[in-house]
Amino acid sequence: MMCAFRPYAGGHFFAVARAWAGIWYHRAEGEIGHSGLIASKGDGMTNELPIRVAIADDNAEYRLTLADLLAYEPDMEVVAVWANGHEVLRDVEHVRPDVLLLDITMPEVDGLCVLKAAPLLAWRPKIVVLTMHEQSPVVLEAVRAGVSGYIVKDAPMEDLLRAIREAHEGRAMVHPQVMRAVLGEIERYAKPNDGWKDLLTAREFDVLCQMAAGKSNEQIAESLHITLKTAKNHVSHILAKLHVSDRSQAVLHAYRERWILPDQL
């Protein structure tokens, strides 16, 4: 899919990020070759392997600054930086990153094309989508493609780090701004799926709907005329049954499976 080049207008982000990291980017000899592949740090000081992260973004300053910032995380290692989806599809099976940070709007081959091609790859990294456009109509399509995270580029660095770690552990994280876009893009007249009945009780599904509406445990208890302790127990049971670690992941699962539609809230 071809798309127009859209420069990232976040110059202030780079200044703040570099000041925070205490560095200015420089290409050390042999660090990044013409292919965009980065040599492993591999100091042998720990038995735990770092998370192998690759970055695909058409804005050179953004991707290289982000690579610098991630280099300061002891549990992460940036193994490649790519400028477009063509480079990703060409190299990903060789580089074998654990997590791919993928810009959704790139020239030549965009992030959505990479997502669609991912099931055909011999090596499938967990994918965290990076975007400036949380209202983009492709948001829902990307989420449905099974991405492990969706983060806006101006989100706090700690949110991105958490998304990488969650993805590596097999969990999903969607930034709140993006979650609102997901709600807005879901087809309002689609027929809901009642597959929740195989996993949840009717009362647990009621609680899940309340969670999707953004209600706290106290508000859920009041709405459903149950005690606060009962509401908390229902939430805990829902998270356990869906194999997720927090409420936002449970709600995202419900939207992906079409258990809940915006018209129901």
Q: Is the pLDDT higher at 116 or at 160?
A: 160
pLDDT (average), residues 4-26:
34
Six-digit token pair at 6? 């859209």
Query: For residues 80 and 229, what is the distance between their CA atoms, to the nearest angstrom?
Result: 48
Answering whether pTM is above 0.95, one says no
| pLDDT at residue 191, as a whole number | 60
Of 124, 155, 185, the last residue of a domain is 185
Same domain assignment for residues 53 and 111: yes
Residue tagged 């997901």 (tokens): 182
Q: Percent of the chain, pLDDT > 70?
A: 72
The CA distance from 211 to 188, in Å, is 19
How far apart, in whole angstroms, are the C-alpha atoms of residue 89 and residue 258?
A: 30
Q: Are residues 54 and 143 in the same domain?
A: yes
The b-or-e profile of 18-32 (16+ CB within 10 A means b, else e) is eeebeeeeeeeeeeb
Name which residue leads in pLDDT, 3 or 256. Answer: 256
Co-location of 157 and 240 in the same domain: no
pLDDT digits (tens, 9 = 90+) for 197-229: 889 999 999 999 999 988 999 999 999 999 999
What residue has token string 């689609």?
A: 190
Out of 161, 185, 209, pick the residue that ends a domain. Answer: 185
Q: Which domain holds residue 243?
A: 195-264
Of the residues 131, 159, 185, which one is the last residue of a structural domain?
185
Domain count, the chain: 2
SS3 state of residue 99: strand
Q: What is the pLDDT of residues 100-147, one digit of tens each?
A: 999 988 887 888 888 888 878 888 899 999 887 655 566 767 776 778
The confidence score (pLDDT) of residue 170 equals 87
Q: What's the mean pLDDT when you consider all of the chain? A: 78
Q: Which two tokens stand for residue 13?
A: 């982000």
124, part of any domain: yes
Domain contains 190: no
- Among 61, 66, 71, 62, smallest CA distance to 40 is for 71
Per residue in 224-264, pLDDT tens?
999 999 999 999 999 999 999 888 889 988 888 888 875 55
On whether both 167 and 203 belong to a single domain, the answer is no
State residue 249's pLDDT score.
87
At 133 the pLDDT is: 62
- Among the listed residues 256, 38, 16, the one whose alpha carbon sits nearest the alpha carbon of residue 150: 256
Token pair belonging to 170: 């097999």
